[in-house]
Amino acid sequence: MTSPKIDATQLELFAQEFFAALKPVASPPAAPKPPVPLFKAPPAPTRTLPIPPVGPNDGPLRKIQLGSHTVHYVLRRSARRSHGFMISDDGLHVTSPRRAPMDDVERAIRAKQNWILTKLFERSERRSMRGKQPPVEWVDGACLPYLGFDVVLRLEPAARSHCVFDADLRELRLGVTPGLEEWQIRERVKLWFQDEARKLFRERLDLYAPRVGVRYSAFALSSAGTRWGSCTVAGNIRLNWKLIHYPLALLDYVVVHELAHLREMNHSPAFWAVVGDVFPDYEGAKAGLRKRSIEMPVLFPE
């Protein structure tokens, strides 16, 4: 048998196909890399909760998990019948009946966890903001917040101490006797603020009580760290004197809030309806108080 003849053209085509098969197959082009950002955003700030110091008469420091947050607190026992909560810049303090088991204590904390976490974060933010603010210097020309605006402190040499407010010039003139120290100047100004608060709060209570449709029995100043006011079933109202630093509208909101408790001793929709009838923008006032309390410089350490 004779084999078929292969001419030169066929041989050349065969060689081309053979050597082409030996070449590596080209890989598909790589996907383009995303552009590298010129600036990297800073990480989100970490929200921290304060850990309260334990006093010599306190029990051990305790902690509880509220959602994703671990909350440390100091537990104190007393003769009271219910659980009480106090939040300061140092953290959470809980006061409970002497015989209340820990399960009851923790249930009470969880029932108030939204309020507790909100207040703890507010205090933490306020503490952080205050750390960035220069301290108030009790010198001539110092600016002090009064009803939402600044008054200028004027120190005047005097044989006898005096404290006079000039509303037109927005100046508080303080007579400085020889040897008067800075802490004494601060305390004298504090007394002036408290006197102003006492007079103004009485005026606003008497103004708004008829509008709310209630009568209150007694009124006193409060120095509470976290509460702007309180009201008892007997009609005794306490208002935080530091409200004198804030705009009058915010002060009025707190006054109406406490008077409304004489009709509704709760924070139910019925209570807020009473507040809203007299002070419609109560939501704006609540937000304003939170914002201003964070921005307010520390004049009088607690």
Reported as a single tens digit per residue, the pLDDT across 110-157 is 999 998 998 888 777 777 766 566 678 889 999 999 999 999 999 999
DSSP annotation of 261: T
Mean pLDDT of the 252-257 span? 96
What is the per-residue pLDDT across 48-61, written as a single tens digit (0 to 9) for each?
788 888 877 777 89
What is the per-residue pLDDT across 194-226, written as a single tens digit (0 to 9) for each?
999 999 999 999 999 999 999 999 999 988 766
Mean pLDDT of the 76-83 span? 88
Per-residue pLDDT, 123: 77
> How many C-beta neighbours within 10 Å does residue 89 have?
16
**DSSP helix/strand/coil, 135:** coil
| 282 vs 225, more confident | 282
**DSSP helix/strand/coil, 153:** strand
- Interaxial angle between packed helices 269-278 and 282-295, expressed in degrees from 0 to 180 and rounded to the nearest 10: 90
Per-residue pLDDT, 300: 79
DSSP annotation of 164: E
Amino acid letter, residue 151: V
**DSSP helix/strand/coil, 209:** helix
Does position 250 have pLDDT exceeding 90, yes or no?
Answer: yes
Residue 15 backbone dihedrals phi, psi, to 5 degrees: -65, -40
Residue 297's pLDDT band, with cuts at 50, 70 and 90, is confident
Q: Which of 190, 191, 149, 188 is nearest to 171 (CA)?
A: 149
What is the per-residue pLDDT across 5-42, written as a single tens digit (0 to 9) for each?
555 555 454 455 544 555 555 556 666 665 555 444 44
Q: Whole-angstrom Cα distance, residue 205 to residue 79?
A: 33
Q: What's the token pair of residue 149?
A: 């605006």
**DSSP helix/strand/coil, 84:** strand
Q: What's the token pair of residue 252?
A: 């009025």
